[in-house]
């Protein structure tokens, strides 16, 4: 007999009636199972069980989590759709890893996660660096799994919640993997593998297009950062490496190891797995970094040969064809190459292979094209003695500005904003900034703009140096000057700059007409330099518009559409002798719900003295939903 006890519906407020009729107040189900406390206990038990199962699921790596269909009702483990075959029946089961996870799940055990994590860690690591103490020292770092757009560092603990991610690109006829996230590598996916194969191995794989341009941009940003932070000579090496010349730099950070550890920490913080090698030449560092197993490898001085010998030939940055041809001759490792006579090698493989070998061993120099970070144009004026007067600052400013504009001219740029930093004798900086409407390098104009800021500078005990920095600059080519053409349009930019400097950017504007009939919304302030269309409205509009419509009282008017006959505004009565209207303006229902039905009826009226007003009535004079029929004055005509 079915009772409500097994149903999850909440109990009724009174004891539930027996379906077959009659009340049985003493029934056990009515006493226990129907009570609130009992239901609470049941629900709590379910919740706890669910949470426990969810915790177990969360502990699994992404690819081992049971898919939804296997979970069935989440409160209880679902049976496997296909029973696992015993090894002695069909040999080793060839199931994808997530099937194993499913089996594991069914048995209710907890997977040993350490194994997977260890595997993932080994597969992923990819920074190598190496530095020499004498000659050019180089370290290479390699952005690991960032190619796919998902920073590797963020996939750490969270990767389980997403599908394994790889990026792909077309190579000839097939589409191959370019980079794989840790979860994907744990599943055996590798760069170079065909995407079709990968999809077959891992259903639900997240494949995205590789973006080499973005990768290169990221690498370049890292290089620029390295220039600013670690060493002045940095160059990208390949698509995923950096050469950093640390000659004479390492001691600033302690020693080479500490420098490497610092770089490694930084890379980890921004989500890049890196491997670093330090060697006496760029080639050796590159080779060791790409094939080392340790995050940091420091090749001892003179140890390049020993470090390179066990590495495969492809570490020498030669084409795949050469590597393949050499492997056919039994030359697989660099050590094999070192043992061969050079003459026959050159004849067979060309000069490149030995050149690369010599570069790696430091016997031949290798040109490095360093990244030059773009810096803002600046000029500095130092004083023999501190200055404190406005006149002196103005003179120094004119001198410095001339230097700055010369620098800008050499770069083909014009300044959009300039900061003046006045270094005081107490070591603090006083900053004044100006902006211009258009790129310019007109010294006199810029000096005049900046001179307006001098009064805000507190010289304290004196200023010992003034630095002018073009914090923002745009391209500026040659420009026509003078008014040789008759209808030459005068350039307003200098005036705009001066007025903006005086009033502030918000207070100099043009008014652009908008597509709105509501007068308050029909204009918008735009930039003073912006091009504004010269439209005009066909309807009468007053020259003065009150900020806020003012209520007028003692209005006498004819309904529904007559202009008022008399009204009182600001305490003065006006008798209307002529009127025109109504011009009906509907509310903009798409902006606010309150305007859905709103209507304003505008009238242009003239009183007995000839004064003309723009009045409106809220509402259309008939329907009460359109407004409350109150009258307002909104503008005055000339």
Partner 1 sequence: MSNPSPIRADRLAALRAEVRGIEDMGGRGSAGVLPFGVAEIDARLAGGGLAVAALHEIAASSAGLWDEAAALTFIAGIAARRPGTVLWTFARADLFAPGLAAAGLTPDRVLYAEAGSDPDVLAVMEEGLRHGGLAAVVGEVVRAPMASTRRLQLAAETCGTLALMLRRWRKPAEDPLAEPSAAMTRWRLAVAPSTPLPVAGIGRARWRLILARQRGGDTHEWIVEGTDDTGRLALPAEFRDRPAADPGRADRAAA
- 367-406 mask for partner 1 (x: CB under 8 A)? ----------------------------------------
Q: In whole angstroms, how close is the CB of 481 to partner 1 at the nearest point?
A: 13
What the block records as the tokens of 394 is 């103005």
Which one of residues 7, 54, 544, 568 is an interface residue with partner 1 (CB under 8 A)?
Answer: 544
Q: Does 542 bind partner 1 (CB under 8 A)?
A: yes
**Which of these segments, 12-20, 36-44, 143-151, 492-500, binds partner 1 (CB under 8 A)?**
492-500
Q: Which is nearer to partner 1, 135 or 499 (CB)?
A: 499
Nearest Cα residue to 635 out of 565, 505, 540:
540
**Which of these segments, 104-112, 265-273, 307-315, 523-531, binds partner 1 (CB under 8 A)?**
523-531
Residues 84-123 binding partner 1 (CB under 8 A) are none
Q: Does 591 bind partner 1 (CB under 8 A)?
A: no
Q: In Å, how far are 483, 508, 514 from 511, measured between CA atoms?
A: 28, 10, 9
Q: Does 479 bind partner 1 (CB under 8 A)?
A: no
Which one of residues 95, 348, 498, 566 is an interface residue with partner 1 (CB under 8 A)?
Answer: 498
Q: Does 571 bind partner 1 (CB under 8 A)?
A: no
Is there a contact between 272 and 143 (Cβ–Cβ < 8 Å)?
A: yes
Which one of residues 341, 534, 593, 594 is an interface residue with partner 1 (CB under 8 A)?
Answer: 534
DSSP string covering 26-55: T-HIIIIITSHHHHHHHHHHHHHHHHHHHH
Q: Is 138 exposed, middle or buried (0-12, 13-18, 19+ CB in 10 A)?
A: buried
Q: In whole angstroms, how close is the CB of 612 to partner 1 at the nearest point?
A: 6
What the block records as the tokens of 425 is 């004798």
Is there a contact between 166 and 176 (Cβ–Cβ < 8 Å)?
A: no
Residues 169-188 binding partner 1 (CB under 8 A) are none
Q: In whole angstroms, how close is the CB of 522 to partner 1 at the nearest point?
A: 6
**Which of these segments, 46-54, 84-92, 461-469, 532-540, binds partner 1 (CB under 8 A)?**
532-540
Q: Does 317 bind partner 1 (CB under 8 A)?
A: no
DSSP string covering 569-594: ETTEEEEEEEEEEEEEEE--TTT-GG
Q: In whole angstroms, how close is the CB of 217 to partner 1 at the nearest point?
A: 40
Residue 154 phi/psi, 5-degree rounding, is: -85, -15
Q: Which is nearer to partner 1, 40 or 580 (CB)?
A: 580
Q: In whole angstroms, how close is the CB of 504 to partner 1 at the nearest point?
A: 9
Q: Does 567 bind partner 1 (CB under 8 A)?
A: no
d(CA 114, CA 112): 6
d(CA 72, CA 62): 18
Q: In whole angstroms, how close is the CB of 492 to partner 1 at the nearest point?
A: 6
Which one of residues 39, 194, 447, 532 is an interface residue with partner 1 (CB under 8 A)?
Answer: 532
Q: In whole angstroms, how close is the CB of 453 to partner 1 at the nearest point?
A: 16
Number of residues that bind partner 1 (CB under 8 A): 54
Which one of residues 87, 108, 490, 593 is an interface residue with partner 1 (CB under 8 A)?
Answer: 490
Q: In whole angstroms, how close is the CB of 513 to partner 1 at the nearest point?
A: 6
Length of the chain: 638
Q: In whole angstroms, how close is the CB of 479 to partner 1 at the nearest point?
A: 15
**Which of these segments, 58-66, 149-157, 246-254, 536-544, binds partner 1 (CB under 8 A)?**
536-544
Q: In whole angstroms, how close is the CB of 565 to partner 1 at the nearest point?
A: 13
Which one of residues 5, 100, 425, 499 is an interface residue with partner 1 (CB under 8 A)?
Answer: 499
What the block records as the tokens of 322 is 């050469």
Cα 418 off chain centre by: 27
DSSP string covering 274-306: -EEEEESSHHHHHHHHHH-SSSEEEPPTT-HHH
Q: In whole angstroms, how close is the CB of 579 to partner 1 at the nearest point?
A: 7
Q: Does 214 bind partner 1 (CB under 8 A)?
A: no
**Cβ-based neighbours of 532, under 8 Å, separated by 6 or more:** 510, 511, 512, 526
Is there a contact between 84 and 103 (Cβ–Cβ < 8 Å)?
A: yes
Q: Does 69 bind partner 1 (CB under 8 A)?
A: no
Q: Does 445 bind partner 1 (CB under 8 A)?
A: no
Round to the nearest angstrom and report the end-to-end CA distance of the chain.
91
The residue with tokens 């539930």 is 16
Handedness of CA 18, 24, 28, 34 (dihedral sign): positive
Q: In whole angstroms, how close is the CB of 157 to partner 1 at the nearest point?
A: 55
Which one of residues 43, 110, 372, 503 is an interface residue with partner 1 (CB under 8 A)?
Answer: 503
3-state SS class at 85: coil
- 375: number of Cβ within 10 Å: 8
Q: Does 533 bind partner 1 (CB under 8 A)?
A: yes
Long-range (24+ apart) CB contacts under 8 A made by 102-111 are 102/66, 102/67, 102/70, 104/64, 105/56, 105/57, 105/60, 105/66, 105/70, 105/77, 106/77, 106/79, 106/80, 108/77, 110/56, 110/59, 111/59, 111/60, 111/61, 111/64
Dihedral angle of Cα 304, 305, 310, 315, to the nearest 10 degrees: 60
d(CA 122, CA 157): 16
**Which of these segments, 47-55, 397-405, 510-518, 622-630, binds partner 1 (CB under 8 A)?**
510-518
Which one of residues 258, 608, 622, 624 is an interface residue with partner 1 (CB under 8 A)?
Answer: 608
3-state SS class at 132: coil
The residue with tokens 């069914």 is 106
Which one of residues 104, 266, 383, 509 is an interface residue with partner 1 (CB under 8 A)?
Answer: 509
Residues 5-44 binding partner 1 (CB under 8 A) are none
Residues 613-632 binding partner 1 (CB under 8 A) are 613
Residues that bind partner 1 (CB under 8 A): 490-492, 494-496, 498-499, 502-503, 507-513, 519, 522-523, 525, 528, 531-537, 540-547, 577-580, 604-606, 608-613, 635-638
């Amino acid at each position: 007999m079915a009772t409500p006890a097994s149903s999850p519906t909440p109990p009724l407020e009174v004891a539930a009636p027996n379906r077959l009729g009659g009340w049985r107040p003493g029934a056990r189900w009515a006493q226990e199972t129907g009570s609130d406390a009992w239901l609470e206990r049941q629900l709590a038990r379910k919740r706890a069980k669910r949470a426990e199962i969810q915790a177990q699921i969360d502990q699994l790596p992404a690819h081992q989590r049971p898919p939804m269909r296997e979970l069935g009702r989440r409160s209880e483990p679902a049976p496997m759709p296909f029973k696992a075959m015993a090894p002695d029946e069909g040999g080793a089961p060839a199931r994808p890893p997530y099937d194993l996870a499913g089996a594991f799940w069914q048995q209710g055990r907890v997977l040993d996660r350490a194994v997977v994590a260890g595997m993932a860690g080994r597969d992923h690591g990819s920074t190598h660096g190496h530095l020499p103490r004498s000659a050019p020292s180089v370290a290479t770092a390699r952005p690991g799994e960032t190619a796919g757009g998902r920073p590797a560092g963020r996939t750490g603990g969270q990767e389980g919640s997403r599908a394994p991610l790889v990026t792909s690109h077309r190579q000839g006829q097939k589409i191959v993997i370019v980079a794989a996230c840790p979860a994907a590598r744990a599943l055996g996916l590798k760069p170079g593998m065909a995407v079709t194969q990968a999809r077959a191995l891992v259903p639900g794989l997240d494949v995205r297009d590789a973006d080499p341009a973005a990768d290169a941009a990221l690498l370049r940003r890292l290089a620029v950062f390295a220039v600013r932070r670690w060493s002045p000579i940095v160059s990208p090496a390949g698509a995923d490496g950096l050469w950093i010349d640390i000659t004479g730099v390492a001691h600033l950070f302690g020693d080479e190891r500490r420098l490497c550890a610092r770089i490694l920490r930084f890379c980890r913080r921004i989500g890049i797995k890196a491997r670093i090698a330090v060697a006496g030449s760029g080639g050796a560092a590159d080779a060791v970094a790409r094939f080392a197993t340790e995050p940091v490898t420091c090749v001892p001085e003179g140890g390049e040969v020993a470090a390179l010998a066990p590495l495969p030939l492809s570490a020498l940055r030669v084409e795949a064809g050469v590597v393949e041809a050499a492997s056919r001759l039994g030359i697989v490792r660099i050590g094999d190459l070192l043992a061969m006579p050079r003459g026959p090698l050159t004849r067979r493989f060309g000069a490149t292979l030995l050149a690369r070998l010599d570069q790696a061993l430091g016997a031949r120099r290798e040109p490095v094209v360093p990244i030059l970070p773009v810096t803002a144009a600046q000029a500095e004026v130092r004083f023999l003695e501190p200055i404190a007067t406005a006149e002196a600052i103005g003179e120094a400013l004119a001198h410095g500005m001339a230097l700055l504009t010369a620098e800008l001219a050499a770069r083909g740029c014009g300044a959009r904003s300039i900061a003046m930093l006045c270094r005081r004798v107490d070591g603090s900086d006083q900053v004044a900034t100006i902006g211009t409407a258009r790129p310019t390098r007109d010294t006199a104009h810029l000096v005049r703009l900046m001179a307006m800021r001098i009064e805000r500078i507190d010289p304290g005990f004196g200023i010992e140096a003034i630095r002018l920095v073009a914090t923002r600059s745009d391209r500026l080519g040659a420009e026509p000057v003078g008014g040789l053409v008759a209808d030459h349009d005068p350039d307003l930019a200098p005036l705009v700059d001066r007025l903006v400097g005086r009033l502030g950017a918000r207070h100099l504007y043009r008014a652009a007409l908008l597509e709105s009939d509501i007068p308050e919304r029909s204009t918008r302030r735009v930039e003073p330099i912006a091009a504004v269309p010269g439209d005009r409205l066909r309807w009468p509009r007053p020259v003065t518009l009150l900020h806020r419509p003012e209520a007028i009282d003692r209005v006498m008017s004819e309904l529904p559409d007559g202009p008022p006959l008399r009204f009182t505004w600001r305490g003065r009565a006006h008798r209307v002798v002529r009127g025109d209207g109504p011009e009906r303006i509907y509310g903009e229902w798409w902006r606010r719900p309150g305007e859905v039905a709103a209507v304003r009826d505008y009238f242009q009226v003239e009183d007995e003295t000839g004064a003309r007003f723009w009045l409106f009535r809220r509402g259309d004079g008939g329907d009460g939903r359109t407004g409350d029929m109150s009258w307002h004055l909104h503008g005055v005509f000339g």
